[in-house]
Structure 1
Amino acid sequence: MAARPVAAPPAATGQLSAQNVMPIAHLTPYANKWTIKARVTSKSDIRTWSNARGEGLFSFELLDESGEIRCTAFKEQCDKFYDFLEPNKVYYLSQASLKPANKQFCGTIQHDFELTLNHNSIIEPCMDDSSIPGMQFNFVPISDLQTMEKTGLVDVIGVCKEAGDLDRIMSRKFSKELTKRDLKLVDQSNTEVTLTLWGSQAESFDAAGNPVVAIKGARLSDFNGCSLSSGGNSKLQLNPDIDQTYKLKGWYENEGVNMESKSISTRAARPDNFKTFAQAKHENIGGTGEPGYYSVCATILQLRSENCLYQSCPNGDCKKKVIDQQNGTFRCEKCNEQFSEFRWRALMQMNVADMTDNQWVTAFQETAEAVLGISADELGRMRDSDPERFQAVFNRATFKQFNMKLRAKMESYNDESRMRVVVSAAAPVSADLEAHKRRLREEIIAMGGQPNEEKMVVD
């Protein structure tokens, strides 16, 4: 998809600051000329369509001392104002269209109307923002979440004790790939809950330094016992400048970091579900349109060293392939930025087999590095500087035996259906021989046999 055009930022004329400011709560269709002074409390991602018109939209929420209102920008206004508007900053806004609010998209905002920017709309920054309040929260202690109705929205604050890796899943509802990241939040009640972030919030999240996470409008559910997730109307702040942040930081650094917290999110681990490749194919795992998961003990027969690396965006968790501009810079279409460097990422195809069959599988960054025993960055530098050492890395990994966790799903490419199998985790069998022997023993007993302990030796 072509990069989103970025319009020049609107020029600040100062004409709105001289106007009479109307409180957000007083906005009605009967007020013809008005100016509001408000703080942007949240800004959505841009939603685009891949067609000739290339339409796009984003929404943002505005707050003043009287209340909140939602505003949406389409097409040219989307391009003009998206980069200009920044969350937590205060702006003057005038000459936007006012219409009845669509409560389906307004989340917790109670205003009867919402705004839409048009070609006459004017937005200017306001330097004097002391009179405009920041985002208002109604925090619920994490320990109280268990007893609450698991169908509503809540405000929660906690220290990010741990952040998982960025994960990608295929959405059945939207028929597209979604990104997510799980956080573990803890507060002074020493209770821990899992918060799942989605989309850009998941991609841009920085867990460095155990930040305090404040989220407004998180969805509370009974998934995995009790858990939280961000939604389209959720507002996320890291280390907000409020009293609760400093109290939480002090507690965690002096006490909480050394305490064993009680988790109310009991995520059930997916069973290993070991299969042979013949069993997986006979049971048609992943062949029904839904992803299927199983584990296998397999030997690597072949590794494709060609096209196993690509140059990716160095910006945060963005994994998009960059375009070499041939002038010492690299462009990321997703971030719409140019960089003087890139990161190597691994995307490796390999053929693995057990005693019943073989299977081509795909291994991404972390699993590819685990199989090869080397980082993608080091492998990338080696590819051009020392081709012999580069190839030796693949030779060493060939014919080694791994326990692999696989995700299988039937997908369509050019109207042709084929099974796509991705390695989600890989560990050498030699890393835990005792566990491997225990599994073999259990399988032998399950088949009615009696294992010979003296002969159960694994190379």
Structure 2
Amino acid sequence: MARSVVIRVRVYRKWEYCGRTGDGELVHVDLVLIDEKGNAMYAEIPTKDAKEKSPLVQEGSIYIISRFLPGNYMIEFNFYTEVQPVPEDAVIMPELVYHLTPFSQLECHAGDQSRFIDVVGVLVEISDAKTMHLTNSAAPVISRDIVLRDLTHFEIKVTLWGDRASSFDIDAIYDPNESEPIVVLLVGTVVKTYIGQHYLSGNATCRWYFNPTIPEAVPFYNRRTAPSVDQARGARLAQAEIATLTDLATMDPYTIGWFASCAKCNKSCVVEGSGYKCRLCLSTNSKFKFVLNLCAFHYVCPCAIMIIAHLFYIFHPYRYKLSFVATDGTTEAKMIAFADVATRIIGKPVQTLMRARTPIQDFPSDITALVTMKFTFVVMQTDESFDRPEKSYRVLSMLSAHGRQAPERF
């Protein structure tokens, strides 16, 4: 009789598969196992054995597993499978196993369900969790969008679903006084496409690791203090059309100038034939925008603060509506930012501000702290600009934050 195979592995990831939408009956319990050399293999616990065998293995722990059904690409637990815990200090076992895909190559994996995608980048946007009703799901599902940026300023949206959406939380590592970027190693996602835009989708298979100690994250950490950061930002802005608030105030909203920007990576495009082509990723899918540079918070409109407080207490789920007056030294203008964009400007989800706010505060300190902060925004004129000579603007995105500035510098 053939000798039974015995393996010593760490349970790298564990999740329950309950159908494509995640709201059905349990189909099987899935595991990703890694050995001492960093090799990874998929494992599955069938429904009939899940009640007895699933509690024996916990994510992150090390076990000796025997009497299972081996295969070419996976192993399967059965009634006879034995699991023996191994003390953490008894063996040196990798904590992380990943195979990174560059952001620029994600499009090649769109629709491919045969492999998971792992990426690393800086967290630049995080939305509130929201409830959605999908046509292929009987019950509403929770989703949350985040945006990661790589070293070339290529950005990718990641949509988290279900438990992954509700459990994504940066409160434990976010320090508003330090203003340090958050590097994220994201594993177990798939590339999907919606209305021509590629994005990463993360469900029960997905995991993330904040500020991981991996070699690929070192360049992100070095850029926190390296002088090349501002140079890179300057080069990016140089490709765009720069305008002051005075320039924008004199523009006719019906003839206002725009520049072509790649819809995938936000780099500027060049003319090619009758259309435009991205210089970086060679995409021909473009959009148009103009850049407002050197925009700083001079003071916060009291009326806007009242509107924010009103939204805090009446609407659910909570959403940002950030109104303010900005100056760049040439003139002042009213601006407004919503939801994800406001979250990135303030640096915290609205729920975090709600939890931290005390009854004696007139307004959250994270809002009042924005006064004299300097940013570079991408903006567009609001509908009101077409009806009156005074222009107002909606912030579409924040390109960069430059810290606190003294008023006399403007």
> Under a length normalisation based on structure 2, what TM-score does the superposition of the two structures give?
0.49
Question: Normalized against structure 1, the TM-score is what?
Answer: 0.44
Structure with higher Rg: it is: 1
